Amino acid sequence: MIRFTNVRGDVLVDDRRTDDRVMARDGLALNPAGDYLVVTTQGSSADVHAFGKIARLEPYSFMRVRPNGAQQGKHAEHWSAPQTKAFLARIWKLAGGRM
């Protein structure tokens, strides 16, 4: 199970398989078989519990979570709500693409 705790601010979760986008919140649980991109914005942070480990995402961070593991990184993109799709597309590119 993939679970979120200590969510502060706007933390976006993009599901590649279903093309769904949600804002993370404390207690949000995701299917471990999914392929997700979790992105913190300029003023947000979160703890992501996945595969028996806890990853702390600070502002301007991303994490791609999929069944065969997770990949973390930093970005320098500024988020604004009207530009969410373009913002996530740029972060997907950093995280290895969206097929």
Q: Is the dihedral of CA 45, 46, 50, 55 positive or negative?
A: positive
Q: Is the dihedral of CA 48, 71, 53, 65 positive or negative?
A: positive
Residue 63: which residues within 8 A CB-CB, separation 6 or more? Answer: 37, 38, 48, 55, 57, 70, 71, 72, 73
The pLDDT confidence band at residue 69, using thresholds 50, 70 and 90, is confident
The domains of the chain are located at 2-94
Per-residue pLDDT tens over the stretch 6-39: 999 999 999 988 888 999 999 999 998 889 999 9
Whether 99 has a pLDDT exceeding 60, the answer reads no
Q: Structure pTM?
A: 0.92
The per-residue pLDDT for 11 is: 97
